[in-house]
Amino acid sequence: STLYKVDGWGAPYFAVNDNGNVTVKPHGDRTMVHQDIDLLKVVKKASDSKADGGLGLGFPIIVRFPDVLKDRLECLQTAFNYAVKSNGFNSHYQGVYPVKCNQDRFVVEDVVKFGSGFRFGLEAGSKPELLLAMSSLCKGSSESLLICNGFKDSEYISLALIARKLKLNTVIVLEQEEELDLVIDMSVKLGVRPVVGVRAKLRTKHSGHFGSTSGEKGKFGLTTTQIIRVVKKLDQCGMLDCFQLLHFHIGSQIPTTGLLADGVREASQIYCELVRLGADMKVIDIGGGLGIDYDGSKSSNGDVSVEYGLEEYAMAVVQAVKFVCDRNNVKHPVICSESGRAIVSHHSVLIFEAVSSSKYTVPAMSAFDVQHFVERLPEDAHSDYANLSQSAVKGDYEGCLLYAEQLKERCVGMFKDGSLDIEQLASVDGLCDLVAKAIGVANPVSTYHVNLSVFTSVPDFWGIQQVFPILPIHRLDECPAKRGILSDLTCDSDGKIDKFIGGESSLPLHELEGANGMKYYLGMFLGGAYEEALGGVHNLFGGPSVVRVSQSDGPFGFAVTRAVPGPSCSDVLRVMQHEPEIMFETLKHRIEEYVHDEGNIGGAMIAGGIAQSFHNMPYLTVGSSCGLTAAI
């Protein structure tokens, strides 16, 4: 666990047990009632065939722990409750979950269910997100906020106004000044008194990757001039009482509480000014940005870590709002935050298999082979080889490397010219590898091929080089003998993971062969936010299978409460407008023609095998027999 820094980024949910397996404590520090869940047992249950008592799901698999989600929500609320009480703050905290972080139906429903006791609401940034938030909140608390962010057209605004009619506590947050005219028009047409908020463009700038849209020149929000125009227009329409919320978002992964407090103070000052101008202000919405510590370093490098926890975050916010409101003699507002990453990241773990590894193998070249090669060396390369040999005799390792490199370069050139054959070139490569190995600089990093698509399951690594904790979920009582990078199934050079937490360019990994016939399973942790929604279908790899797991009293200490296989080949083909049924008919027809021409060669079995391939997930079905193989 030290090697992979599990205690740093994983506590209190993830640890390693005496058997060397990753364990999960879904309730965190809160309860000791149940035994910890052994992640390997969950993976076996999910992936073993039905005949072996498993659920027969294909890899990759997302294991969700709804209790972790519940704990994160409760911890956030508790942190704010404490900060409110200890600072004598005269209002309360009431958060919303931005559904864009993970729109999965069960994640959203869980947030609403777990948060209804403390009025936790939802944030939407588009029409479909608003529709899902509206229907989900119907089952929650009527006081929960429904924050409508994002660019809006009249349909979006009508939906938000209808939501208000349906007694959902909906706030339309103006992202652009032009949206105000639509809100005024539509609310008159629909006969609904809207509650309006404004997203302020703050001067406070977050300099990390996620803050590139913050600051005065940021993409989103209204400037002070625009905010004043909004106040005037609402006043002219007799609707200034509708203006009740001030929102800002300075970016995800805010690195320090200093920067956070700076932003909150600036926004609180705008809030107080709006009160002075006559708006009926009630809520300050501090957006998202509550960061998580991906590498366990608790440092201010916002891209991988933040230097604060939930308690320090809540304390900084409450103190900043209180300070500014007290200075202006303004009633304390309800504090709302839109934390997404901090709520959902921990609750899901992506599990995938390493299926092979490219081992660094020193070619077995005897002195005879070397001699044989040297005899075949073309005239032009003799001087390089002589220099290489002399350097070796003198123990000049740098010289060895240099001349080996020169020899190789010259021979590759000759191969391209057609004056060297492929066996000779292979011998040159082998000789150079031998030299590198002999002086201890051979590349010791292996490539582990993993049954995964980086583009589908870890898009933030591909897009913004976001690192996540990745480690084997078992064999952690064995010292890993190798270091490796992970290469995925896509035919794309970007389909690899070669950056890891701690600034490492490779990961300590075990020999695949040493697992006593057991497969080698890796877990990617803290990826519950953004990854699922951002993932695409590059190479037509679809999403993973998903299981939901809760602690239970049974013999295994857990129960799978839901299991959904990942999209099949047909499903992903449909995403790109193909029609698998028609495709299958075309292929069947071709098989019939073939059978007709060649005689009976088991056409029905081949057709059955192809049908099965449409039905299977696009990933490797390692070890299990497929219909096609049987047919052929």
**Residues classed as catalytic:** 491
149 versus 244: smaller Cβ distance to ligand PLP = 149
Question: From the CB of 275, what's the least distance to ligand PLP, in Å?
Answer: 23
Minimal CB distance residue for ligand PLP: 288
Closest CA to 108 of 119, 122, 125: 122
- 136 or 252, CB closer to ligand PLP? 252
Residue 196 structure tokens: 């309006």
Q: Which is nearer to ligand PLP, 10 or 340 (CB)?
A: 340
Phi, psi of 283 (to 5 degrees): -130, 135
Q: Determine the Cα–Cα distance for residues 631 and 551; give it in Å rounded to an integer.
A: 42
Q: What are the backbone dihedrals phi and psi of residue 336, each rounded to the nearest 5 degrees, phi first? A: -115, 140
- The least CB distance from residue 2 to ligand PLP, in Å, is 29
CB 119 within 8 A of CB 90: no
Q: Residue 338 CB, nearest distance to ligand PLP (Å)? A: 4
Q: How far is the CB of 287 from ligand PLP (least distance, A)?
A: 5
**How far is it, in rounded angstroms, from Cα 567 to Cα 272?**
51
Beta bridge partners of 172: 148, 196
Q: How far is it, in rounded angstroms, from Cα 561 to Cα 594?
A: 47
When the beta carbons of 5 and 247 are compared against ligand PLP, the nearer one is 247
The residue among 208 and 543 lying less far from ligand PLP, judged by its C-beta, is 208
Taking a C-beta distance cutoff of 8 angstroms, is the pair 497, 325 a contact? no
Q: Which is nearer to ligand PLP, 123 or 571 (CB)?
A: 123
Residue 416 CB partners (closer than 8 Å, separation 6+)? none
What contacts 24+ positions apart, CB below 8 Å, involve 24-33? 24/65, 24/68, 24/349, 26/65, 26/66, 26/67, 26/68, 26/71, 26/549, 26/550, 26/551, 27/67, 27/70, 27/71, 27/551, 28/68, 28/71, 28/75, 30/71, 30/74, 33/551
Q: For the residues of 539-559, what is the DSSP string, one character each?
A: GG--PPEEEEEEE-SSTTSEE
Nearer to ligand PLP, 167 or 219 (CB): 219
CB of 296 to ligand PLP, least distance (A): 19
Please give the Cα distance from 126 to 241 (Å, whole number). 26
Q: How far is the CB of 252 from ligand PLP (least distance, A)?
A: 3
Q: CB neighbours (10 Å) of residue 245? A: 25
What is the binding site for ligand PLP (CB under 6 A)? Answer: 98, 101, 149, 249, 252, 287-290, 338-342, 529
* Torsional sign, CA 304, 309, 315, 317: positive
Q: Which two tokens stand for residue 621?
A: 């079905």
Please report how close the Cβ of residue 249 comes to ligand PLP at its closest, in angstroms: 4
